[in-house]
Amino acid sequence: MKNMKNILLLLLLSLFATKVNAQKFIIISGQVSDSLSNEPLVGANVNLNYGEQNAITDKAGKFNITALKKENIIVVKFVGYKPWRITLNEKNDVKLDIKLFLVSNDLEEVIVSSKNQETNVKRPILGVNSISIKTLNKIPSALGEVDILRGLQMLPGVTSVGEAANGVNIRGGATDQNLILLDDAPIFNPTHMFGLFSAFPSEAVASFDLYKGNVPTRFGGRAAAVLDVSLANPSLDKFKMSGGISMVSNRLKMDIPIIKDRLGISLSGRAAFNDFLLPLVSPKLDNIKAKFGDASSKIFFRVNSKNTLTLSSYGSYDFFQTEILGTINEINSTNTQYKYRTINNTLNWFYAINNNLNFQTKLISSDYSPTTLLPELNVDNKVKIKSGITYKQIKTNLNYFKGKHKLEVGLDAINYLINPGELDPGTNQNITPVFTQHENAYELGAYVQDEIEVSDKFVITAGLRYSHFLNMGPGSYRIYQAGMPRDEVSLLDTAYVNKGQVQKSYGGFEPRVGMRYQLTERRSLKFGYNLMRQYLQVITNTTTPLPTSRWKTSDIYIKPQVSSLYTMGFFQELPDNVYEYSFETYLRQTKNIVDYKPGADFLLQEYPESQLLQGKNKSYGFEFMLSKKKGELTGWINYTYSRSLNKVNEGPTTSQQINQGDWYRANYDRPHSANATVIINQGTHHDFSFNFTYSTGRPFTMPQGYILFQDRSYPFYSLRNNARIPDYHRLDFSWNIYNPSMDPAKRWKGNWNFTVYNLYGRKNAYSVFLKNQGTAIKAYKLTVFGAPILSLAYNFKFQ
């Protein structure tokens, strides 16, 4: 039947052809065989010009196609093999010798796994995720800016409060419960332009790992998760340059070898400074100002065969003026502007004592300083509210590998110097300068961890960390009547602490255990337990922290947050390692989470303990993930059910409780979420990819009645987070075209990236709120990206 169809088609074609030109045909024939065994492949499908004609290989793996003399595309497919394609421009008959590669022999495309080559099934710890930078470059990103934080949100257990979130929520944790490290230095504000872009220099990042289950004992200080981002080492043998231009920013990275194989430097930078031209386009835009940039450098020096030194530096800068972040009521200004910068440095000395033993010491500093600027009416003056964190750390560890053990021991010490806020009135004589008491604190840690291969099937990672926290003088603190709300009424006295004296100390052990039991070669079961202590937190009562939000160390009133996480997982690889799926479930209980009294205000607040309440959080969830790691189509799909609930009940009065002391939903409690990422690799010159994401709308507070003030109605709220905003979903598309010149020998390689974010233009709600408009109260929805957003980026590599 099929042959009949082919013959008919051929007849038709020849009729048509004879009319035009008798010499219009060529014959394409060939043989299809296995690339390794050279065995002919019987029944392989040979397709001409995407369906114009189809042929099936015979017993000898051979086929014959008669085609028009023009550009012809042949695609050969066979189950279990990678598809093969060619574009022909032959004028005469052509014979092809086609070798197909088995998919299972193909190198695994690392899309969702860790940087070491261990597969998820084999790795002894749970809840470690990563996306390779290569994949990240392929999947759609907002506005063409490659973005680690947005990529992470495609993984199970990672959500955010919305598109303008200044951080992510991992397994029911708050944004500040994640430790974000860039070459070991902490990033206090991970985004540019208030959540629109992540602050990592994507060009310079080599890899990143997200630890949301078992966290190695070398990390400490945050309660939920660790995002460990590493900058790429410079090339030591060849000058390389890469960069790009997107609709938003311009990027450039250079690798400069200085002494071949010994010393090299890499420099990278990204900048978006085009806003000053906005008013020229439309006077409507003269109120919008936004600039940002970041830069990084890494120097690598191989001192000798045993010693290396690396120095990583990172800086970022942001400036924006907007009405959408609110303003400061107590200062009369025409506008609100935000300016913040980060400067980080990490010096790492690596000493390989022998093949089994190495020793590393790191000196780390981080400086984060946000400023709010308030320009005044009719005068050339800006009132400034400055704050800052200075972070210094020394960290040393010893790694030992022998037989069935992988042992790591280490020590670290951190000093935090925090300026919670100071008001600089500039030339304004009428505003009193305000200074708040600086905070000085130490966090000390000692840890040990061993990965023991008990048997072929059973591997255990057991670790113990001890952390100790000291809040130091000089300074004063208030003493309140015990059991009463901390306010002016219960204030008894003020106590003083001298320089060098300890105001309050906390400490404790942090056991971390991970176990893997191999059920079969491709199937494993894992268990994990993790305890983490957090002594530094953002205190803000907004849905997502502002870049200027205040960081606060634990003190006599603010107790450290302590989180225990229990996890369990099942991991399965399918034959040929093409597919992998996993189920993970977790329960996390956190003590001393921070929540806020109604109307809490932390701006220049000398006594933050009077504005906040502490309670507990209970988070639990179930995550399913299926990934396809090889072949023409790669990607993953996942579903997460998760809950995050808080309970705050410090005492019997209403001001010591939230929601009458009952459990209530955390701001980022989104029970259902599902993500899918698909990458369709179309040979070496282009690929397509899609992202789809869905999640339950986050909670918001709906009024339970209305009240009057001066004869005007206002909504009356009583129970927090008692309703939900509409569900969120979005589809993105991206198309990458690589090396359009098609010349593989060229040193300059360019590629184009075309992205449509929010393909079907859903107006996803970021928030829902009620607002008094004149005499009426109306409900509104705030949307961040309410339309499909097209972007085009050009990237290049020169090497």
Partner 1 sequence: MGRMKIIFNVLKTKIYYILVLCLFIACVEPFELNVITTETILIVDGTIDDSNTDQFINLKKFIPTDNSNSIRYLPETKAKVTIIENGLNVVNCVENTNGYYYLPLGFKAKVGNKYKLRVELADGNIYESSDETMKKTPPITDYTVVFDPKGIKKGENYVPAHLVYVSTKDDAAPGDNYMWTYRLYEKQTVCKTCEGGIFLTSPAPLGKCSTVRSLAEDGVIYDYRCDGNCWEVLYSEELNVMSDALSGGKEIKNRLVAKIPFYQNNGFVVQIKQQNVSAGSFQYLKILGNQSQNNGTLVDSPPAALIGNLKNIKNSTEAVGGYFMVGEAVTKSIWVDRTDTKDAVPIYLMGRAAVYEPANADGSRPPFAPCIKTNTRTPLKPEGWPL
Which of the residues 605 through 664 are near partner 1 (CB under 8 A)?
A: 654-655
Which residues 756-785 are close enough to bind partner 1 by CB under 8 A? Answer: 763, 765-772, 774-775, 777-785
Stretch that binds partner 1, among 149-157, 373-381, 465-473, 519-527 (CB under 8 A): 373-381
Choose between 86 and 331: whose C-beta lies nearer to partner 1: 331
Number of residues that bind partner 1 (CB under 8 A): 96
Determine if 604 is a binding residue for partner 1 (CB under 8 A).
Answer: yes
Cis peptide bond prior to 474, omega within 30° of 0: yes
CB atoms within 10 A of CB 366: 24
Edge-to-edge strands, sheet with 205-211: 128-129, 205-211, 225-231, 178-182, 185-186
Cα dihedral 172, 177, 183, 187, rounded to 10, equals 120
Taking CB under 8 A as the rule, which mask of x and - marks residues 320-349 in contact with partner 1?
---xxxxx-xxxx-----------------
With 0-12 CB in 10 A as exposed, 13-18 as middle and 19+ as buried, what is 383? Answer: buried
Q: How far is the CB of 430 from partner 1 (least distance, A)?
A: 4
Choose between 14 and 332: whose C-beta lies nearer to partner 1: 332
Site of tokens 């507990």:
616
CB atoms within 10 A of CB 791: 19
Q: How far is the CB of 202 from partner 1 (least distance, A)?
A: 19
Determine if 303 is a binding residue for partner 1 (CB under 8 A).
Answer: no
Those residues whose C-beta lies under 8 Å from the C-beta of residue 217, and which sit 6 or more positions away, are 408, 410, 447, 448, 449, 463, 464, 465, 510, 512
Q: Which of 605, 179, 186 is nearest to 390 (CA)?
A: 186
Q: What angle do CA 78, 81, 82 make, to 5 degrees?
A: 105
Tokens of 77: 């497919």
Choose between 667 and 677: whose C-beta lies nearer to partner 1: 667
Q: How far is the CB of 687 from partner 1 (least distance, A)?
A: 24
Q: How far is the CB of 762 from partner 1 (least distance, A)?
A: 12
Taking CB under 8 A as the rule, which mask of x and - marks residues 667-706 in contact with partner 1?
x--------------------------------xxxxxxx
Are 444 and 412 within 8 A, CB to CB?
yes
Determine if 15 is a binding residue for partner 1 (CB under 8 A).
Answer: no
Q: How far is the CB of 739 from partner 1 (least distance, A)?
A: 22
Choose between 508 and 726: whose C-beta lies nearer to partner 1: 726
Q: How far is the CB of 645 from partner 1 (least distance, A)?
A: 15
Stretch that binds partner 1, among 27-35, 204-212, 389-397, 594-602 (CB under 8 A): 594-602
Which residues 423-462 are close enough to bind partner 1 by CB under 8 A? Answer: 423, 428-432, 434
Residues β-bridged to residue 613: 595
Q: How far is the CB of 642 from partner 1 (least distance, A)?
A: 20
Among 435, 496, 509, 716, binds partner 1 (CB under 8 A): 716
Taking CB under 8 A as the rule, which mask of x and - marks residues 109-148 in contact with partner 1?
----------------------------------x-----
Determine if 274 is a binding residue for partner 1 (CB under 8 A).
Answer: yes
> 3-class secondary structure for 531-599?
EEEECEEEECCCCCCCCCCEEEECCCCCCCEEEEEEEEEEEEECHHHCEEEEEEEEEEEEEEEEEECCC
Give the β-pairing of 536-539 and 523-534.
Answer: unpaired
Those residues whose C-beta lies under 8 Å from the C-beta of residue 573, and which sit 6 or more positions away, are 119, 120, 121, 522, 523, 579, 580
With 0-12 CB in 10 A as exposed, 13-18 as middle and 19+ as buried, what is 4? Answer: exposed
Tokens of 796: 């290049």
Among 76, 164, 232, 515, binds partner 1 (CB under 8 A): 164
Stretch that binds partner 1, among 199-207, 224-232, 278-286, 609-617 (CB under 8 A): 278-286
Determine if 168 is a binding residue for partner 1 (CB under 8 A).
Answer: no
Stretch that binds partner 1, among 307-315, 372-380, 510-518, 614-622 (CB under 8 A): 372-380
Stretch that binds partner 1, among 58-66, 113-121, 409-417, 716-724 (CB under 8 A): 716-724
Q: How far is the CB of 272 from partner 1 (least distance, A)?
A: 9
Stretch that binds partner 1, among 103-111, 610-618, 631-639, 714-722 (CB under 8 A): 714-722
Are 539 and 557 within 8 A, CB to CB?
no
Residues β-bridged to residue 354: 357
Those residues whose C-beta lies under 8 Å from the C-beta of residue 315, and which sit 6 or more positions away, are 294, 295, 296, 341, 342, 343, 344
Q: Return the biggest CA–CA distance within the chain.
A: 106
Q: How far is the CB of 452 from partner 1 (least distance, A)?
A: 47
Choose between 249 and 524: whose C-beta lies nearer to partner 1: 249
